[in-house]
Amino acid sequence: MKKLRIKQVKSGIGHTLRQKRTLQALGIRRMNHQIEVGATPQIIGMVEKVKHLLEVEKV
């Protein structure tokens, strides 16, 4: 399975509650926090909803 490296580069402050909860569901806790997750359709959908707050690279 392919993996994605996701890093939060912009704050969730001032964005909708739905976007904040999406960040939380991804497991991102703070600015510059970086995670590696499997590239499932569910994860890719969540990343698309908050892509303006994230930096994504394929591993």
Residue 28, domain CATH:
3.30.1390.20
Backbone φ/ψ region at 43: left (φ over 0), alpha (ψ -120 to 50), beta: alpha
Confidence at residue 1, expressed as pLDDT on a 0 to 100 scale: 81
Confidence at residue 28, expressed as pLDDT on a 0 to 100 scale: 94
Residues of the chain predicted below pLDDT 50: none
Distance, CA of 52 to CA of 31 (rounded, Å)? 13
Q: Return the number of other C-beta atoms located less than 10 Å from residue 50's C-beta.
A: 23
Q: Is residue 57 part of a domain?
A: no
Q: Look at the block and give the residue holding tokens 């909803």.
A: 49
Q: Is residue 38 part of a domain?
A: yes
Q: Cβ distance 14 to 23 under 8 Å? A: no
**Domain boundaries, position 33:** 3-52
Per DSSP, what are the bridge partners of residue 6? 35, 56
Report the predicted TM-score, pTM, of the whole model to 2 decimal places.
Answer: 0.90
